[in-house]
Amino acid sequence: MDAVVKFTSQSQGRDRIFRATQYACALSIYLLRNDSERKNLVAKLKSLETNMSAGRKLFRLGNTVNSIEAAKRTMQLSDRVLCLCLTAANMNRALYFICDNVLWARSVGLIRDIDKERWILNSSRCYFLSLVMSLTRDIYVVLQLMTQTARDKHFRQKMELQLNESPEVAEAVVPHLDAFLFLLLESLKSHPAVALDTLKNICDLFIPLDRLGIYKSNAGVVGCCGLISSVIGIVTLAQPKLRLKP
């Protein structure tokens, strides 16, 4: 119970619970869209989804400053690739939150004379660029882990044993590809924080891809991906050891 209270007392914790609820509603609406007997339930879910979205915008009012401060910290990293990727990701995230704050101000009537669709488009672009840079960081870290794992004698012995025990796999699959996949899975298995962060960013990427029209999916795919990434966000916030750093 103490862990639950501590989690919900954080603004990030409340935001992620709201986000999970929002995308769970979106997925449920998509699945029930053709059920004529559930029209009232669908209407309630749409209302709840809207309220969750509005609540999240309120929770994120101070996130622009947090992202700028995070960018300042990542600029000090000695690894130039991580420095570039994380700083760019944080700066684009800050721009995304600025757009999000402007849209919130318009929704409550504080600002009126703005092009809502243009700001939504700019928000999606910044979110997309932030995710691309975050995924680039993930790929870079995964490649580093794979290089380290490949040099490990214990891993090489394990891979040889695996191939010897399953010769049909080695014959059916291109040997180099089979070894690459085995190395990738072993690297991610031993570093769950990297695996979770990569999966989260991949799922999140479908949201701006759909909004920008780069890769059109549907509300069900967006809802499912958003729900998965939200659950991962909740898990990593509740268990800091599963959060990828820096």
Any residues with CB less than 8 A from the CB of 145 and at least 6 apart, and which?
A: 187, 188, 190, 191, 194
Q: What percent of the chain has pLDDT over 90?
A: 67
Section 194-214 average pLDDT: 96
pLDDT at 173 over 60: no
HSE, side-chain direction, 13 A CA sphere, residue 184: 10
Q: Pick the more confident residue, 170 or 109.
A: 109
Q: Which of 93-97, 150-154, 184-188, 238-242 has the lowest mean pLDDT?
A: 150-154
Q: Which of 19-28, 38-47, 149-158 has the lowest mean pLDDT?
A: 149-158
pLDDT at residue 6 in the model: 60
CA torsion sign for 117, 123, 126, 127 is negative
pLDDT at residue 183 in the model: 86
Q: Residue 129 and residue 143: Cα distance in Å, rounded?
A: 21
**pLDDT tens for each residue of 89-147:** 999 999 999 999 999 898 888 888 889 999 999 999 999 999 999 999 999 999 999 99
**pLDDT tens for each residue of 49-85:** 999 998 888 888 888 999 999 999 999 999 999 999 9
For the chain, the domains span 2-242
pLDDT at residue 131 in the model: 98
CA-wise closest residue to 8 among 237, 229, 230, 241 = 237
* Residue 82 near residue 246, CB atoms below 8 Å: yes
pLDDT at 18 over 60: yes
pLDDT at residue 8 in the model: 57
Ranked by mean pLDDT, the top range of 33-47, 55-69, 103-117, 149-163 is: 33-47
Number of helices (H) and strands (E), helices first, in the chain? 11, 0
Chain length of the chain: 246
HSE, side-chain direction, 13 A CA sphere, residue 186: 20
Quote the crossing angle between the two packed helices 39-59 and 11-31, to the nearest 10°. 160
> Cis link prior to 246 (omega < 30° from 0)?
yes
pLDDT at residue 182 in the model: 80
Q: What is the Cα gyration radius of the chain?
A: 21
- Cα angle 142, 144, 148 (rounded to 5 degrees) comes to 115
